[in-house]
Amino acid sequence: MDTASLQQKVKVAVPTIILCWWVLRRARQSRLPRPPSPPGHWLLGHALQLPDPSGPDAQHVDVLLLEWARKYNWTVFSFWVPIVGRFIVAADPALVRQVLVTENYPKASLYGNLLPLLGEGSMLVAEGSEWAAKRKVFNPGFSPGFLRGVVATVAEKVQTLCEKCSQAADSAEELGLHEATVDFTADVIAQVAFGEDWGTRGGRADAPSAAVAPTRQLMFELQWECTQNQITPLRIYTNLLSRLRIWRLQRLLDADMVAVVHRRIAALSEEDGTSAPSGRKDILSLALKQTQLDSSSGTLGSAEVSDVVAQMKTFFLAGHDTTSTMISWAIWLLAMHPKVCEEVRAEVAKVLGPWGSDSSGLGMALPPTYEALQECEYLEAVMQETLRLYPPGGSARYVSDPNATFAGMNIGNSILYVSHYVLHRHPALWDEPDEFHPERFLKGLATSEKRNAAFDPFAFGPFSRGPRDCIGKYFAMLEGKIAVAALVRAFDFSAVHPDETIRYRVTQQPQKGARMRVRHRPQ
């Protein structure tokens, strides 16, 4: 065969093979239509319409998704980004149930960028029996029984947060509330999860700012680096320096965290003369006790230690970023709605009694009880309504089956994104979806059909639903209620930026930092 005829054959064969591959792929795929999608570019999809997360004023992508949902009146719709893939936004409770419960699709690979921060084998990304085994080890650390003992620790840590507010009130300077709540929740989770006092930035009025533990510093630096990649997925492939920084920070952090685990193992052994159970109130000790009991030798190998480290890193990240976001938005909303704030104050004074009313007006000498906190129904409704309007995060799952369907549409080969922000503000489900009405969550006041969305677990689910829901949900609510009760009891807040919106980060933080003017309240 001469070269010319060979070239001719190749010219015909290559397109034919590509065409056959495409036809076969289409044939394998269901012929059902895809969910509708806003107009996009034929080659770049919707990439150009999505916000640029590196911009200083970038609003969270969920703001755009809600705009699309409302403009086209869609509860299920799709958009696509080259290389990353097709996304389907699930704001229909029936699809949410299918994604999270009936099918319980696996987590999307988007979480991969967070792995150095979460740790290989993190419960948040593990699947199947591996995930179930991890969750079983840590469940006792989040049970109501354990949480009862945590109230005093949280109430003690809230004092530092109140002192920061007090300083702002005395000096008449604005307070960056979100920065302060991040400090508070990081301090709490380090103490409750692994029994360490990692201090807070700025510290107490009487403590040096150097009180922040270097491990916490490493954690925050790594978090910054990884979350940049998470919201700009292609950055990890293009920014070599970032990858090097991540590698270095991860090594340092993991070494520190292994030391934390060994310190706790040593403390357990010292307490009892054996490495057996102790009454220590931190989640790590409980889990170590369980892991040691499960292991045949009664001691932990390096693989087991690094697995525990992954869960600790996960708790630190998942436990402080989300909860601080919830507290900041709750105080911001209460500052914007003084009448609701007064009702919270009245309930807190009535149910929690003299708590927080020592001579300084800030004291936590008499922390509230777990039971009393459960009785604060209005406060609970305020926290729920806060999570409805500003849910800190969503859930991304991957549907690999090319023929998967929902309501006559093909949803296969896609990233299913349960955006709580879109779900919680969809006009098809909620009356006055953008208004702050805690009453929606008080059973007796849920009158119209739409208001009952507050009691539909698949229309309202800030902690996700199904087997992969948030392990820390009761812990977060407890911590949030204590913080909000303490803050509104002692201070009046007025929001510097009434036009706050949600920042483009992994969690949906207040973009302008929830800056506040703070005044003492008469005690």
Contact yes or no for 417/394 (Cβ under 8 A): yes
Q: How far is Cα 435 from Cα 389, in angstroms, rounded to an integer?
A: 8
Residue 464 engages ligand HEM in binding (rule: CB under 6 A): yes
Q: How far is Cα 195 from Cα 215, in angstroms, rounded to an integer?
A: 14
Q: Enter the tokens of residue 505.
A: 């980060």
Candidate residues 60, 97, 440, 468; the one interacting with ligand HEM per rule CB under 6 A: 468
Q: Enter the tokens of residue 234.
A: 């292609």
Q: How far is Cα 353 from Cα 98, in angstroms, rounded to an integer?
A: 44
Q: How far is the CB of 466 from ligand HEM (least distance, A)?
A: 9
Backbone angles phi, psi at 176, to 5 degrees: -80, 90
Residue 476 engages ligand HEM in binding (rule: CB under 6 A): yes
Candidate residues 79, 378, 460, 463; the one interacting with ligand HEM per rule CB under 6 A: 463
Site size with ligand HEM, rule: CB under 6 A: 24
Candidate residues 230, 275, 292, 395; the one interacting with ligand HEM per rule CB under 6 A: 395
Nearer to ligand HEM, 356 or 472 (CB): 472
Give the range of 147-155, 312-320, 483-491, 496-504 binding ligand HEM by CB under 6 A: 312-320
Nearer to ligand HEM, 184 or 475 (CB): 475
Q: How far is Cα 259 from Cα 408, in angstroms, rounded to an integer?
A: 54
Nearer to ligand HEM, 362 or 470 (CB): 470
Measured on CA atoms in the order 340, 341, 344, 350, is the torsion positive or negative?
Answer: negative
Nearer to ligand HEM, 135 or 204 (CB): 135
* Alpha carbon 43 to its chain's center: 33
Nearer to ligand HEM, 229 or 314 (CB): 314
Instruction: Give the nearest residue (CB) to ligand HEM.
Output: 472
Nearer to ligand HEM, 35 or 141 (CB): 141
Q: What's the Cα-to-Cα distance from 204 to each of 20, 253, 364, 371, rounded to whole Å? A: 69, 25, 15, 29
Nearer to ligand HEM, 37 or 314 (CB): 314
Q: Enter the tokens of residue 100.
A: 């999270």
Q: Kindly identify the residues of this chain, within the stretch 131-150, that bind ligand HEM according to CB under 6 A.
A: 135
Give the range of 35-43, 318-326, 333-341, 356-364 binding ligand HEM by CB under 6 A: 318-326
Look at residues 132, 150, 151 and name the one whose alpha carbon lies nearest to residue 141: 150
Beta strands per DSSP E along 442-514: 491-495
Q: How far is the CB of 72 from ligand HEM (least distance, A)?
A: 25
Crossing angle between the packed helical segments 377-389 and 338-352, to the nearest 10 degrees? 140
Q: What's the Cα-to-Cα distance from 1 to each of 5, 8, 9, 10, 12, rounded to whole Å? A: 7, 11, 10, 13, 16
Residue 510 engages ligand HEM in binding (rule: CB under 6 A): no
Look at residues 75, 76, 102 and name the one whose alpha carbon lies nearest to residue 88: 76
Candidate residues 158, 309, 376, 471; the one interacting with ligand HEM per rule CB under 6 A: 471
Q: Is 470 annotated as a binding residue?
A: yes
Candidate residues 121, 195, 319, 356; the one interacting with ligand HEM per rule CB under 6 A: 319
**Binding residue numbers for heme:** 470
Binding site for ligand HEM (CB under 6 A): 107, 123-124, 135, 189, 314-315, 318-319, 322-323, 326, 392-393, 395, 462-464, 468, 470-472, 475-476
**Binding residue numbers:** 470
